[in-house]
Amino acid sequence: MDKNIRIAIIGGGPAGLSAGMYLEQKGYENYVIYEKSDHVGGKCHSPFHNGKRYEMGAIMGVPSYYAVHDIEVFAGITHDGPALNRDYQKPNGKMDHQFSTKRIWNLPHLLKLKKQIEKFGEILRADYKGYDICGHRGVSEGRYEGYAVAEDRHHVEGENPKLKDLCMTFKDFTDKLGVPLVREVWIQPFTSFGYGYFDEIPAAYVLKYLDFQTMMNFMHVNLWTWKDGTQSIYEALNAKLKHPALLEQNIEKVVRSEEGVVLTVNGKEEKFDKLIVTAPLQYFPEYADADEEEKELFSKIDYERYDTMAFLTNPENYPDRSRYIVDYMTPETLGHVMVYYHRWPESDQPLVTYVLRKHKNSKELDYEATKEQVKKDMAALGCPMKEIINEGKWYYFPHVFAEDYAAGWYEKVEAKQGNHSTYYAGEIMAFGDMDETVEYSRDLIERFF
């Protein structure tokens, strides 16, 4: 491809900014990134409070975040944030000791759990080759193609009919393999992180994010954070790009033809040869000349409603680590606090709550009613909300359901890559976490540019 082509990128989050970085690294320097808000980072949002940054969106990474590490190298930064740790708590505020090896009554169950985790790891390695590579192309047809989750990210591809099993929900998949207990640990960085319930979400999403390596890092609290917040990763990246994102850009229209792509941005027409869309695809037909197939496919995308609330409590109620409330990680307890996150030791710094307000089989809960529930939960958990300092309502984890996944949603969308001079990237194409979205941008640029 001619390296001088003009490329428009919609969205200045991890996917869009890293697409700019990978394009530059391949010698394409004629790109423009359009961001509609007044800052970069998207769901990596780290506001200031009393001189320090806290997290309203993304919090952490793990050592297998190779794509995020590409950005660290490019931008000259590192994961220099506070160490994370966690306790478990019952809804009434008592500590929950179900994962403590110090309680003798736990030991038989924990041993069984350990055995099932080991068995799960062995089965994934032996039978599901290719399960963990970034992106979903081929899975519903029993193929894999992409880059291995390894430091050198070597290219892998092949046939593996067993991969079709990943179209099942994670509950059905782990039942089929005879390892139902593993859900007790996989649920913690999944459901409580807003990604929904295991009886609704295809196993492919769960395992591409929480591949065995990532899950072990999570279990052993081998985690990365950034002192100035995850947003600072993308601010640093943006500052190093030859063409930093243009902010407060409203894309009013996208018209694609044989001659290329015309965007109407803040009332002005701009011409490009290629378009990369990292903004939510579900909304693409609202401002673009989407064809019938794009409209049909993108209408199948569902998402979660995930809310975060930053608050101060009384100094004497301030916990020394984050807390997980496992009893609230069920569909029946939708709208309750599943985690509250502790970042800084100073008691003038906020704690942040995480709550799901919608999932596949539920109506969206009312925001104000849920907020009242969160206040009650936090009082019962021993950290009454003295002052709420920020609220985040997220369009979260775009995905398709098991039936659409199995019917080849990803194969159909991947087959359209490049049609109308348009490429799709961002969360839906891989998974709603920093590393999968950035890795997918890398994969896309490798494949098509």
Ligand X SMILES: Cc1cc2nc3c(=O)[nH]c(=O)nc-3n(C[C@H](O)[C@H](O)[C@H](O)COP(=O)(O)OP(=O)(O)OC[C@H]3O[C@@H](n4cnc5c(N)ncnc54)[C@H](O)[C@@H]3O)c2cc1C
Helix 66-75 × helix 434-448 angle, to 10°: 80
**Residue number with CB closer to ligand X (313 or 437):** 437
Q: Which is nearer to ligand X, 56 or 163 (CB)?
A: 56
Beta carbon of residue 393, minimum distance to ligand X (angstroms, whole number):
10
Q: Where along the sequence are the contacts to ligand X (CB under 6 A)?
A: 10-16, 34-37, 42-44, 57-61, 193, 249, 251, 278-279, 306, 308, 394, 396, 426-427, 432-435, 437
Nearer to ligand X, 165 or 306 (CB): 306
Residue 276 Cβ vs ligand X, minimum distance, rounded to whole Å: 11
Nearer to ligand X, 181 or 207 (CB): 207
Q: What are phi and psi of 45, to 5 degrees?
A: -130, 115
What the block records as the tokens of 190 is 């999944």
- What is the 3-class SS of the chain, one letter each residue? CCCCCCEEEECCCHHHHHHHHHHHHCCCCCEEEECCCCCCCCCCCCCEECCEECCCCCCCECCCCHHHHHHHHHHCCCCCCCCCCEEEECCCCCECCCCCCCCHHHHHHHHHHHHHHHHHHHHHHHHCCCCCCCCCCCHHHCEEEEECCCCCCCEEEEECHHHHHHHCEHHHHHHHCCCHHHHHHHCCCCCCCCCCCCCCCEHHHHHHHCCHHHHHHHHCCCCECCCCCHHHHHHHHHHHCCCCCECCCCEEEEEEECCEEEEEECCEEEEECEEEECCCHHHHHHHECCCHHHHHHHCCCEEEEEEEEEEECCHHHCCCCEEECHHHCCHHHCCCCCEEECCCCCCCCCEEEEEEEECCCCCCCCHHHHHHHHHHHHHHCCCCCCEEEEEEEEEEEEECCHHHHHCCHHHHHHHCCCHHHEEECCHHHCCCCHHHHHHHHHHHHHHHC
What minimum distance in Å lies between the beta carbon of 408 and ligand X? 23
- For residue 266, the minimal CB distance to ligand X (Å) is 11
Name the residue nearer to ligand X (CB basis): 44 or 167: 44
Q: Which is nearer to ligand X, 110 or 365 (CB)?
A: 365
Give the nearer residue to ligand X in terms of CB position, either 16 or 202: 16
Would you say 131 and 207 are in contact if contact means Cβ atoms under 8 Å apart? yes
Structure tokens at 115: 């055995």
Closest distance of CB 424 from ligand X, Å: 11
Nearer to ligand X by Cβ, of 20 and 57: the residue is 57
Q: Which of 277, 308, 276 is nearest to 395 (CA)?
A: 308
| Shortest distance, position 223 Cβ to ligand X, whole Å | 9
**Least gap, CB of 77 to ligand X (angstroms):** 16
CA-based angle 396:67:138, to the nearest 5? 70
Inter-CA distances, 242 with 12, 17, 273, 388, Å: 14, 11, 19, 39
Q: Which is nearer to ligand X, 212 or 306 (CB)?
A: 306
Kindly tell me which of 141 and 270 has the beta carbon lying closer to ligand X. Answer: 270
Shortest distance (Å) from residue 10 CB to ligand X: 5
Q: How far is the CB of 150 from ligand X (least distance, A)?
A: 18
Q: Rounded to the nearest whole angstrom, what is the least distance from the CB of residue 376 to ligand X in the complex?
A: 21
First to last CA, the chain: 6
Please, which residue, 35 or 404, has the CB nearer to ligand X? 35
Least spacing, CB of residue 317 vs ligand X, in Å: 23
